[in-house]
Amino acid sequence: MKILFIGDVVGKLGRRAVAALLPAIKEKHEPDLTIANAENLAHGKGVTSQTLKELLDAGVDFCTSGNHIWAKPEGHSIVAQKDSLVLRPANFPDGTPGSGARLFTVGTKSVLVVNLMGRVFMKEHLSCPFRALDSILDEYKSKKPNAIIVDFHAEVTSEKNTFGLYADGRVSAVLGTHTHVPTADERILPNGTAYISDVGMVGLKYSSIGVEYQGILQTFLTQMPGKFEVPDAGLAVFNAVLLDIDPKTAKTRSIVRIQQDVEI
């Protein structure tokens, strides 16, 4: 079983880059399921129905998210829809709209997708992601998924690495998102779980995590608020990982980083 996971898609440029590159990538690798982190779809923060439609039309099957999922009012209703194609982190408080895990039928097999958020250096006051994972795995234990994919949306590599080792052997993959910078530590952990600290992003290549750097530079230089601009055109980078999973054991055979540039 092959699963393609795309890093945080940032703004219109990111959406257009996915549309430009994903069809050929899917034709080459033939993934059974394509997932993308969509929390930055709408001009860098949040998601709307139209921006989500663009991503789905480009060939994405399902989306995870993170701390920016509530940035656009429309995002609240999107994640709250029955059978929504967008997850929000599962460790938000009880009563928060939406779901943090979903079981998919892919052909004759099943894939459980889980979205969790770290707590270190994050302003949200969330419950423990480690214990939240335990609860989710216990809830879906009887379903015996052929693959379990976790998007761990977190700030620091220490928390991400520790979470990966905690989940090792119990999930197929722990894929870090949020920092938008791809890491070169993709590997299979000792008990068969694929891990990477951050998948990266789809957005402006020469930027500050997808935002034109000039405004952010002024903030660094002067400590005054700068204007953050998310471009619609330019040279985009596409970051993703391709997983090859044994559906009999839910262990991962390989994790391969994909990085391509495209002028939009």
- In this predicted structure, what is the pLDDT of residue 252? 98
pLDDT bucket at 13, cuts 50 / 70 / 90: very high
Instruction: Please tell me the distance from the alpha carbon of residue 115 to that of residue 81, in angstroms, as a whole number.
Output: 17
Look up residue 56 and give its DSSP letter.
H
In the predicted model, what is the mean pLDDT of residues 96-112? 96
Residue recorded with tokens 């789809």: 202
Side chain identity, residue 134: D
- Res. 228: pLDDT tops 90: no
Output the CATH code of domain 2-205+234-263: 3.60.21.10
pLDDT bucket at 227, cuts 50 / 70 / 90: confident
- Res. 225: pLDDT tops 90: no
- Res. 129: pLDDT tops 90: yes
Dihedral of alpha carbons 105, 142, 255, 181, sign: positive
Instruction: Please tell me the distance from the alpha carbon of residue 41 to that of residue 53, in angstroms, as a whole number.
Output: 11
Look up residue 102 and give its DSSP letter.
E
- Res. 168: pLDDT tops 90: yes
- Bridge partners of 255? 243
Q: Which residues contact 51 (CB under 8 A, 6 or more apart)?
A: 15, 38, 41, 42
Contact 84, 49 (CB under 8 A): no
Q: Would you please indicate which residues are annotated as catalytic (active-site) residues?
A: 68
